[in-house]
Amino acid sequence: MTPMTRPAPAEHGFCMPAEWAPHQATWISWPHNPETWPGCLEAAEDAMAQAVAALAGGETVRINVLDAAHETHVRGRLGPLADTPAVVFHHFPTNDAWCRDHGAIFVRNEAGDLAAVDCTFNAWGGKYLPWELDDAIAARMAESLGLARYEGGMVLEGGSIEVNGAGALLTTEQCLLNPNRNPELPRAEIERRLALLFGVREVLWLGEGIVGDDTDGHIDDITRFVAEDAVVTVVEPDSADPNHAPLAENLARLKTMRLAGERPLRIIELPMPAPLEREGERLPASYGNFYIGNEVVLLPVFGQQADARAARILAECFPARRIVPIRAESLVVGLGAFHCLTQQVPAGAS
């Protein structure tokens, strides 16, 4: 594993902004792997085309594609939007589409300068071969923007962390303490590295994620900051559902957490959709996997009664943004949704 670059980002005054801070762009890697979306790759592409259309009204959308032929294919899926300045293509081939996890994580300093954090990607603990192209993407993203790149020196996926932009970071024990990530790093060292990489002061630990999540409990399926002192967290009231107990434990932990100055978190409960399965396996469908754009919030929905309730809750959290519900059953066949498939590039100095 490559050692962490020293000085680290925080030692140069960089920190990771909250997702709702202004973006210059959203970056995605276009879905292309039929093994990830067996029998429904086209439907997954349809969902992402809707996402790009919604985002492009408020920010640039940068899209990693395999090559020129793949760009032509994606242009056909996007239609006239592909020929506008709002969409920029990069011939950066990937093994899969989960840009949140394999892409660069961008940080910013008070002057508005941006830099990129490049952590090691090992396909969620070595689950899916190959992953060499994915592991190379962060460096290519940083180079294309002309940004300084900091080696993270640890295995870390973007979907495993959640920041409020004011010094706090949420994560889960199931993921970051999993021996398939950084077995040589104890909790205290992981916390130290997170502070150095992302400019945070407090690391807040939840327990486990939801059933069917092959990422070993990513935070972006369960609990998300919606303000500096507020989170939405998914809950499952059905005590017979296997998600009930871990989500109840996470809720209890959140109630005991304190931010700087001993401020408690404001906690907003978000429903879980009814279980979705494919070939007898539970899929990780969650309304928590939304993505916050400059003008919109992309919300995965599943044709269920709870869709409207989730949309109302997020509309109250983000009154200045339009909630865009997009059917995501096809996406969760690939075991993720809109947050997993996006990575924000913060606005820099003008």
Task: Judge whether 99 and 106 are in contact, CB under 8 Å.
Answer: no
Judged by DSSP in three states, 53 sits in helix
Instruction: Mark whether 175 is an active-site residue.
Output: no
Query: 259: which strand partners?
Result: 263
DSSP 93: -
Rounded distance between C-alpha atoms, residue 231 and residue 226, angstroms: 5
Judged by DSSP in three states, 137 sits in helix
| Those residues with Cβ within 8 angstroms of residue 24's Cβ, 6 or more apart along the chain or in another chain | 59, 60, 345, 346, 347, 348
Which of 99, 119, 175, 340 is the catalytic position? 340
SS3 content of the chain, % helix, strand, coil (to 5): 30, 25, 40
Residue linked to tokens 């276009």: 30
Burial of 252 (0-12, 13-18, 19+ CB in 10 A): exposed
Amino acid at 148: A
67 token code pair: 């090559």
Residue linked to tokens 């920190």: 15
* Omega before 7 within 30 of 0, i.e. cis: yes
Q: Closest Cα partner for 55 from 304, 230, 299, 311?
A: 299
Which residues are marked as active site? 340
